[in-house]
Structure 1
Amino acid sequence: MININHCPASDFEAEFQLIFNNHMKGLPICHNGLQVRAIGFQNFKKHWIGAMVTPWSILVVLAQGNKSNWPEIQVGKILSITLPAGAFSFLGMVSDRLGKFLACSLMSPVDPLFNQRSAEAFAARALMLMLTPESDSSHTTHSTRSAIPENLSRRDFFTTFSKEMIADDKP
C-alpha cells in the first residue's frame, strides 16, 4: 500500500512491469520500443500524482496518501477529479501492491512514432499541464490559439504532438 511519506514511483514501476511481464508482453497493442517508467511523481493535496509510460499506454495516476480526504473509489468506474487545469476523468483501479488508485489514460495504444524519450517527454508535459492552473496557462493559450485549428480532433492533436516530438528528437 502507498504511504504519504514515501514516493510511490518505484512501486508503480514494479507493478506495471509485472503487469507487462505477466499479461501484456507480446500483445499487438504493445509498443516494443518502450519500457515501463514512472515520470514526475509528486505530492498533490496529500496524495501522489505522476505519469506512467508503459508499452501499451501513457497515463497519469493518482495514489492515495492521506485516507481522510481520499475519494471513495469503485474499481472500474470513472471518477471526475478536479486538478488545477480542470476536471479529468480517472478510472478506479486496484492492485495488491498499490491498493486502490486512479488512472487517467492519455494515450492507448501509444503512437508507434514515439520512442522512449518522446513518450516520457509527452507524459511529463501532459502532467505539468494538468497541474498548471488555467489562469497560469492562459497567456500561452492566447498566443498559440491561432495556430491550432478550432475543429482539431483529439487524435489529430496527439498526432501533431508526436510528429513535433519526433522532429525535436532528431539531431
Structure 2
Amino acid sequence: MSHPAFYSNNPAELITQAFRQIEQNQMQGLPVCNEQLTTEIVGLTRFQAFWVGALITPWTLQLIMLPATADAEQLVESDHRTYEFPQGKVVFMTTENEALGPYQSCALMSPLHSFETQEQIRQTAVEVMELMFQPPAEVEQTQSVQVAVPGRLDIDRESKSTEKSGSRRDFLRGALK
C-alpha cells in the first residue's frame, strides 16, 4: 500500500483505520487485548514538524507521531529520538506500518485490562495529552512527566502524598506507587 512521505492534513482517520485493521486481523482474541476497548486516536495535534496524539488500542495506550511536513526527519525502523515537549523529554521509537509508513511511538500502558469502558481509557488519553503540553510550572512541583526507559513515558514517583486516592489523574501524575 502506498503512503505519503508526510501528512499535511490531520491523519487521525488514517491512523484509526490502520490500527483497526491490526485490531481486527492480527490482535483479535489475543489475551493481551481488552475486549471492551477499540482503536481510537485522541488529541491529535501539530507539534513541531509532526502530528502527535494518544493512540488507544485494545492492547496498548501509546503516543504516536507522524511527519506533518517535508522538514520532518525521515527515520527508519527501530530508530529512537528524544523530543522536548513542554512537560519534558519523551523518547519515541520508529516503527513501520504498511498503510501509514514510518511512524514514531512511545508506549504508555499495556495491557489495558484495568479499564472497564472506552470512556475511561479515552479520559486517561485526554489527560496524558493535557499533561504533555503543560509547562512544568503548571504542574505540582513534586510531579512531572519523565522518561523512565527508552520508548516509555513514565511518571516521576516523587509525590510526597501517602494517600492513594485511585484517580487516573493521580496515576498519571505519579501519586500512586
CA-CA distance at 1:74 after TM superposition: 2.8
Task: Report Cα offsets for 1:78-130 as digits up to 9, x if no partner.
Answer: 32222111111212111122121111111011133442111011111111111
1:169 match: none
Query: Is 1:74–2:76 an aligned residue pair?
Result: yes
Q: CA RMSD in A?
A: 2.9
Give 1 or 2: higher helix fraction: 1
Q: Aligned with 2:26: secondary structure?
A: helix
- Structure 1 partner of 2:138: 136
C-alpha spacing 1:140/1:8, structure 2 compared with 1 (3 Å): farther
Q: Is structure 2 residue 36 aligned with structure 1 residue 46?
A: no
- Structure 2 residue runs of 5 or longer lacking an equivalent are 145-157, 172-177
Letter in 2 for 1:111: H
Matches within 5 A, 1:1-171: 1=3, 3-68=6-71, 70-138=72-140, 141=143, 145-147=159-161, 160-162=166-168
Q: How high is the TM-score relative to the length of structure 1? A: 0.78
- If each structure's strand is expressed as a fraction of its own residues, which one has the higher value? 2
- Alignment partners' CA distance in 2, 1:99 and 1:131: 26
Distance, in Å, in 1 between the alignment partners of 2:85 and 2:11 is: 19
Any runs of at least 4 consecutive aligned residues in structure 1 with deviations exceeding 3 A, and if so which?
1-5, 138-142, 159-165
Q: Against the structure 1 CA distance between its residues 61 and 148, is the aligned structure 2 distance closer, same or farther, given a 3 Å change threshold?
A: farther
How far residue 139 of structure 1 moved from its aligned partner, in angstroms, is 6.2
Q: Distance in 1 between matches of 2:31 and 2:7?
A: 36
Report how many aligned residue pairs link the two structures: 155
Unaligned residue ranges in structure 1 (runs of 5+): 150-155, 166-171
Whole-angstrom distance in 1 between the partners of 2:125 and 2:116:
11
Is the 1:113–1:162 contact (alpha carbons within 8 Å) kept by the matching residues of 2?
no
- Using the alignment, how far apart are the partners of 1:21 and 1:10 within structure 2? 16
**What TM-score do you get using the length of structure 2 for normalisation?**
0.75
Q: Which amino acid aligns with 2:119?
A: R
